[in-house]
Amino acid sequence: MKNYLVIGEKWVRAIVFSDEIGAELYIAKNCAGIEYQRYSEAEFNETYADADMREMEYGVNDYMARRLIVICYDRPGNRLSDC
């Protein structure tokens, strides 16, 4: 299930949805013309295993999003977001 959505250039973040349907609804409404990548939980954890991240919980929302993860630095230490 690819329910992790990574978006952004200056502020790289992942939105974790309860299921793929929520991710698809969010993409259809909010990602026109925006580059994004979808991951399963295992793919995301492998790709960002050594990344510096900040996690926040979402409240009730229309897209069944559970968490917002701001990715501060990637594995090689490149700054991706101000955290």
Q: What percent of the chain has pLDDT over 90?
A: 72
Q: Which domain holds residue 50?
A: 4-73
How far is residue 16 from each of residues 45, 66, 76, 77, measured CA to CA in Å?
A: 12, 6, 23, 23
79 is a domain residue: no
Q: What percent of the chain has pLDDT over 70?
A: 99
Q: What's the structural domain count of the chain? A: 1
How far is residue 67 from each of residues 33, 71, 77, 78, measured CA to CA in Å?
A: 23, 13, 23, 23
User: Is 80 exceeded by the pLDDT of residue 83?
Assistant: no
- pLDDT digit string (tens) for 44-64? 999 998 888 999 999 889 999
Q: pTM of the full predicted structure?
A: 0.87
Q: What is the pLDDT of residue 74?
A: 73
- Give every CB contact of residue 3 below 8 A, 6+ residues apart in sequence: 16, 17, 18, 19, 20, 22, 23, 40, 41
82 is a domain residue: no
64 is a domain residue: yes
9 is a domain residue: yes
49 is a domain residue: yes
Q: What is the pLDDT of residue 46?
A: 94
83 is a domain residue: no
